[in-house]
Homo-oligomer: A and B are copies of this chain.
Amino acid sequence: MQVTTLCLGALVFGEATGYEINKMFEDGPFSHFLDASYGSIYPALTRLTDEGLVTCKAEQQERRPDKKIYALTDKGRQSLSEALHTPLAEDKFRSEFLFAVLFAHLLPRSRVVELVDQRLAAMKAKTEELAAKDPGDTPGMDFARLYGHAVYSASVSFLENNRHLIEDIAVDDKPQEASREVHTHV
């Protein structure tokens, strides 16, 4: 699914600028399971305008570059609908953490512990973030939020209960490093 389609989706929720669409992917309702950035959003909006799937009205601002406000056309709405009726791609999941875990036996224990701690903190933050119900959310957003919450909760539980599995296969911290640290403290 291309960024153009994602932009059409973003505009279902109302007209918006490229900047605002970017925020939806960065911080907003899409941020947890989609990504797109300026480098793809602006060209996408230009293409969509050329193809008549969105309209673009430039709002003149004093001493500022024009704000370009994009809105869906009927053709655009129909195009999105078609995309949602064709087979969807499977979820893509990419985790450098799990990649690193594969080499836990090559890493000092302190590094593995650090990685798990960082990840656990990030996961807990996400869980909390997704626990808060926003009254402005649509039912679809609500479902996605609850889904994410369920998955992140499971993730946190697993990590807490099983972190020892990889921490115990990591190698002991190098003696010279440990002693160096001690010395600086003493």
A162 to B88, CA, bound (A): 20
Contact: B146 with A158, CB < 8 Å? yes
- Chain B residue with the shortest CB-CB distance to A115: B88
CB distance from A23 to the nearest CB of B (A): 16
Identify A35's interface contact among B94, B104, B140, B141, CB under 8 A: B94
Q: Tell me the number of copies of this protein.
A: 2
Residues on B with beta carbons closer than 8 Å to the beta carbon of A151: 151, 154-155, 158
Does A89 belong to the interface (CB within 8 Å)?
yes
Residues of B within 8 A of A35 (CB): 92, 94
- Are the CB atoms of A100 and B88 closer together than 8 Å? yes
Is A62 an interface position by the 8 A CB rule? no
Do A147 and B98 contact each other (CB < 8 Å), given the known contacts A93-B32, A93-B93, A165-B142?
Answer: yes
Q: What DSSP secondary structure best describes chain A's contact surface?
A: helix
Range of interface residues on chain A?
A: 35 or more
Q: Which residues of B contact A134 (CB under 8 A)?
A: none
A91-B97 in contact (CB<8A): yes
**Contact between A103 and B85 (Cβ–Cβ < 8 Å)?**
no
Listed residue (A85, A93, A165) with the most chain B CB atoms within 10 angstroms of its CB: A93
Sample of 15 more A-B contacts, CB < 8 Å, known A98-B144, A142-B165: A1-B99, A9-B102, A30-B99, A33-B98, A34-B95, A84-B103, A84-B106, A84-B107, A85-B107, A88-B96, A88-B115, A139-B165, A146-B162, A150-B154, A151-B155
